[in-house]
Chain A
Amino acid sequence: MFDLGPHGGFILSAYAFTALIMVGLVGNALRDRAAQRRALRRFGEDRR
């Protein structure tokens, strides 16, 4: 593993926080899409 120096904790925290937010953003988008598709299927429609 490469050495990030004395401030490695700040660097890794910044990347970890960004990854967390991005996973949340994409996960929420996928969950929302699945919910709308389920609702549309109940009305007999299906969209991708």
Chain B
Amino acid sequence: MSETAPMTPSLWTRLSNPGHFMRWSGRLGPWLTVLSVAILALGLYQTFFAVPPDYQQGETVRIMYIHVPAAWLGVFFYGAMSLSAIGSLVWRHPLADVSQRAAAPIGAAFTLVCLVTGSLWGKPMWGTYWVWDARLTSMLVLFLIYCGLIALWRTIEDPNRAARAVAILTLVGAVNLPIIKFSVNWWSTLHQPASILRMGGSTIDPSMLYPLLVMIAAATLGGIALHLYAMRTEIMRRRVRTLTIREAERLDAGTRRVTPTPSAVPLPQGL
């Protein structure tokens, strides 16, 4: 008799296993949370006690330290959702739809923060809360796409059908991401051009840039920690759904066994 060596599952298989995900995310989550809170504390201290007032914007520049990280995360989570949508459609990865669904409310919340804080900055600096500027409008469109995706999930009850529809709509909406990034270059906008990620380096003075990068790092780590937490909850929700269906089937089978005649079953009302 020949002996066969036990097969080791590939990294891809292990990553796609929700049980495996629950184990590693459970260990990583608390560390990410503590780290993000510590970095946020440092960033807030720098924002209010180390960053000098801007020569043009004055103290109002401090709004940038929440506006820019929020804008980054609004776009970041949509990018993550687009990758997850490819994972859903092409590889039917079990965690891809979970990741997408968990990311949507977080991305929507950060996009809303970006819009409102930008508006509160715009009033004293531009003299208006809102203009139909290409950058502002494309961010508003991003927020509306997030809301549309969340609504679509709630409309379709079957998670598998919802996953496919949402994945397609997510990929259609991804065309907005380069529009957001390059809107300030393609059109004449009131919004200032790129000042951090640009050819030739950042235009921001290091005394203001480094605290901004600290705030971006804190928001990113916090957002990822929240995303992992929400993914774990989503896996639990799907487990509850499966168990509920099984329970209903079991009860249904039991009822059928004890029901003497089909005529004894009451007709559904109101149909």
Q: Give chain A's interface residues, CB within 8 Å of chain B.
A: 2-8, 10-11, 13-15, 17-18, 21-22, 24-26, 28-29, 32-33, 36-37, 39-40, 43, 45, 47-48
Contact = CB atoms under 8 A, between A and B. Distances in A.
Contacts of B53: 5
- Main secondary structure on B side of the interface with A: helix
Given A14-B67, A25-B106, A39-B240, A4 B120 contact: no
Contact of B226 (A7, A18, A25): A25
A34 B100 CA distance: 21
Contacts of B207: none
Most chain A beta carbons < 10 A, residue from B66, B109, B124, B236: B236
A36 B252 CA distance: 24
A21 B60 contact: no
A25 B109 contact: yes
Nearest to B66: A18
A19 to B, nearest CB: 9
Contacts, number: 86
30 contacts: A2-B49, A4-B59, A5-B60, A7-B58, A7-B59, A10-B60, A10-B63, A10-B120, A10-B121, A11-B60, A13-B120, A14-B66, A15-B66, A17-B117, A17-B120, A18-B66, A18-B70, A18-B117, A21-B112, A22-B109, A29-B229, A32-B230, A33-B229, A33-B233, A36-B236, A39-B240, A40-B236, A43-B243, A45-B239, A45-B243
